[in-house]
Chains A and B, each alone.
Chain A
Amino acid sequence: GAVVSQHPSRVICKSGTSVKIECRSLDFQATTMFWYRQFPKQSLMLMATSNEGSKATYEQGVEKDKFLINHASLTLSTLTVTSAHPEDSSFYICSARRYLGASLNSPLHFGNGTRLTVT
């Protein structure tokens, strides 16, 4: 089946530093990837849509300069949290859509998430 790999699974960084999270689709090409943020015991909040070869689309309230997204290839998207602060500590999850051709609503597969702790 489809596999989405996310790395690292956990990261601890100091306030003011930047952290890069990678999301890879391992056995399919993904023209679109999504980045979510999840707080404890809460649902997934969509942060941005990453489109291969073009700029990401950010949801309202998400700072594009703080959460830099790059989707340089059909199998890799990266999220960089710049100048991280303790309030950025969260569980970040990427997902990739496996395109099923002309059919609508291709399945969305998730990575295993990255637990970011900013001290």
Chain B
Amino acid sequence: GENVEQHPSTLSVQEGDSAVIKCTYSDSASNYFPWYKQELGKGPQLIIDIRSNVGEKKDQRIAVTLNKTAKHFSLHITETQPEDSAVYFCAASTAQGGSEKLVFGKGMKLTVNP
């Protein structure tokens, strides 16, 4: 089955710096890669996603890149703000006959220091 590895597990940056979170996946059939932000005591919130027919996607300060050959994808956050502090999860999914399961990475705790 699919295995998603995420690193680093924690990251601390100064406000205004950029942050990068990297994930790798094992199943070459995976074709959908969402990123979730989870604040303390809340459920994960979808912040951006990318499909396998696209190499890069950007939404304001957030961008995601996908390298299918190397089977890795990354989340880039520019001009970080204290409210970006949260746990970020990457995930991968394979559509198989309508049964699509997301496999999550272990998460990365981002701390943005004012």
Could you give, for residues 24-45 of chain A, a 1 whenever the CB lies within 8 Å of some chain B CB and a 0 otherwise? 0000000000100000001110
A46-B101, A107-B34 as given contacts; A113 in contact with B42, CB under 8 Å:
yes
Which of B41, B100, B104 is the one whose CB lies under 8 Å from A97?
B100
User: With an 8 A cutoff between CB atoms, is B46 at the interface?
Assistant: yes
User: With an 8 A cutoff between CB atoms, is B73 at the interface?
Assistant: no
Listed in ascending order, the chain A residues whose CB lies under 8 Å from chain B are 4, 6, 34, 42-44, 46, 49, 93, 95, 97, 104-113, 115
- Provide the bound-state CA to CA distance between A107 and B93, in Å: 11
Secondary structure of the A side of the interface? Answer: strand
B51-A105 in contact (CB<8A): yes
The interface residues of chain B lying within 8 Å CB-to-CB of A115 are: 41
The size class of the interface chain B forms with chain A is 20 to 34
The interface residues of chain A lying within 8 Å CB-to-CB of B54 are: none
The interface residues of chain A lying within 8 Å CB-to-CB of B93 are: 105
B43-A110 in contact (CB<8A): yes
- Provide the bound-state CA to CA distance between A90 and B93, in Å: 25
The interface residues of chain A lying within 8 Å CB-to-CB of B42 are: 112-113
Which of B36, B45, B95, B107 is the one whose CB lies under 8 Å from A104?
B95
The interface residues of chain B lying within 8 Å CB-to-CB of A93 are: 43-44
User: With an 8 A cutoff between CB atoms, is B102 at the interface?
Assistant: yes
B41-A108 in contact (CB<8A): no
User: With an 8 A cutoff between CB atoms, is B72 at the interface?
Assistant: no
Could you give, for residues 73-114 of chain B, a 1 whenever the CB lies within 8 Å of some chain A CB and a 0 otherwise? 000000000000000010001010001111011110000000
B34-A44 in contact (CB<8A): no
The interface residues of chain A lying within 8 Å CB-to-CB of B31 are: 104-105
The interface residues of chain A lying within 8 Å CB-to-CB of B106 are: 42-43
